[in-house]
Chain A
Amino acid sequence: MSETAPAPSAGPVAAGDRHISGVPIRLDGVTKRYPGQEQPAVDDVTLEIAAGETVMFVGPSGCGKTTLLKMLNRLIEPTSGRIHLGDEDVTDQDADQLRRRIGYVIQAGGLFPHMTVGTNVGMVPRMLKWDKERTAARIDELLDLVGLDPAVYRDRYPRELSGGQQQRVGVARALAADPPILLMDEPFGAVDPITRQRLQDELLRIQEELGKTIVFVTHDFDEAVKLGDKIVVFDVGARVVQYDTPERILAEPAEDYVADFVGAGATLKQLTLTRVGDVDLVQVTTAVAGSPSAEAVAAARAAGDDFVVVLDARGRPISWPTVAELTRTATVPQTVDERLPVVGLRSTLNDALDTMLAASQGGVVVTGRRDGLAGVMAVETVMAAIQRSRTEAAG
């Protein structure tokens, strides 16, 4: 994990340079048997998850990974075994009280359609009897965190939002009472690939800021590699086959089963391991929207660039006209190019390639902190990475 930007201000608890607000989770011999079934759905799982880590549960459908997740907040009661959150044994605690302290995100957000976005987000604070002002302030803070303007979205109903926006609200709702743990059950399964990638980037950014303990169920191994600090590969009965970092699972699958699951494209999956922030970005000529075009054209020609990245007043890239286009206008245009391919520093090369293909462009604009410009990456960089991993695989 090489992050160029400085870590956010460390809180009271800090490991390394990262703020952590999560608590560890410990599963001790957790088993779930359903009556009438010979094999337990979850068979004697013992697992430790460190505070502030994102742990991905992957495995074939029916392997018990979702059952295991739902036992963490006791939506499913374990038949035997103990569950510890932090120093507490929560196996016998009041389930409703327990769940208010654990964020829970499901596919498509699970928003209540008859309540506004604000009401949805404020559900748990209201249950915890926060006063009105505090709840309202928290709702706005969270909508802001997930990248939705509170003034615009607070009073909308879920059906007025796109799938991606609904999912963001779902994450905001789960974070409302600042729970140390976030459980996510295939949250991004129902959105299109480009939206999914953006949501993943958002989650990485939010997690960087908050340092929750996240348990995330997915069937998408790429997603696991991208988001996970650790990955747990499960087989039937929630047997833990391998529990390790993405790098090591890709490099040294513990069993043939894992190698099969990871897939034949494992060398290309290295693309998922490499972050945009890890490769050399090209620095290009920039111009502020509304400034005289002539200056921008001169700067670009001096630098040998044939296009210019236009930034808005807050330094966020909004378009990238060619020099030829700029010569036709007096000032640098203010228009926001909705199709501008943008990825974050934490996006993977895989994401960057997807974004380029979706936009039919040969490069992407890369943004860093607060969506400011970090540089530009060309398709050649991705190609070089593919070539490199092929060479490594061959040699």
Chain B
Amino acid sequence: MVFLKLFIVFLKIGSFSFGGGYAMLPLIEQEIVNVHEWLSQNEFIDIIAISQMSPGPIAINAATFVGFKHLGFVGALVATLGVVFTSFFLVVGLARIIIKNQNSTIVKGIFSGIRPGVIGLIVAACVSLFSASIVDVKSLFIGLAILLILHKSKIHPIGVIFISGILGIIVYSI
């Protein structure tokens, strides 16, 4: 059955993609282009361009896009469900254990180390985001301008995203 097959392929992609993001593109490409031939190489490259215009994780974007191209609206639904399925049960399962044991010394000890570690992790993510998105003087200018806005005001991140988009149109049109 085609829908079941689509579901299973994206279940697999969702289950083996640690960290998410562009790191999982090779896995998606392998399954969708090479093994199942649901998309051509060119259509697959479109996914990257389309994902950059669309909000949400690239894994979700890819699932929806492939499902839709392959089997229409229901296909998009099935593939998207497949890609989040494993996450849902793992996260809920682990959340349940953590919440139940949140006063145990072991859980407290573990999180006392993880907490500062994650801050280092997020700053490290900024470094790789920086090298991927600050590519010229104009993007550096936008990044710094937004940093200044965030420092001086309490604008909602959504507002900041709009401002940066408009800055992009202005700065790159000059």
Is the pairing of A and B real? no
A residues touching B (Cβ–Cβ < 8 Å)?
none
